[in-house]
Amino acid sequence: MVGKKKTWNKKKLNLKIGYCSVCNKIHYNTSSGWIINAEKKVFCEDHKEDSISCFDKYLQPKTQTKSVMDW
């Protein structure tokens, strides 16, 4: 039999990863710019200099509360 070969085309699925814990933006598996931390919280991350992302906003209060004991 001579004919056209049939190929299998995998459908591209857009799965919802979750909502940003700071700004409530929806993140999908096909879009970039999101981070999931150990607590399984989702954050926006844009990887641009001189811009503050939602992940940076989440980390900022934690870094300010750490104090160094002076002896």
The domain spans of the chain are 13-47
pLDDT, tens only, 4-62: 777 877 777 788 888 999 999 998 888 888 888 899 999 988 877 888 888 888 888 76
Task: Please tell me the pTM assigned to this model.
Answer: 0.62
Residues 45, 34: Cα–Cα separation, whole Å: 5
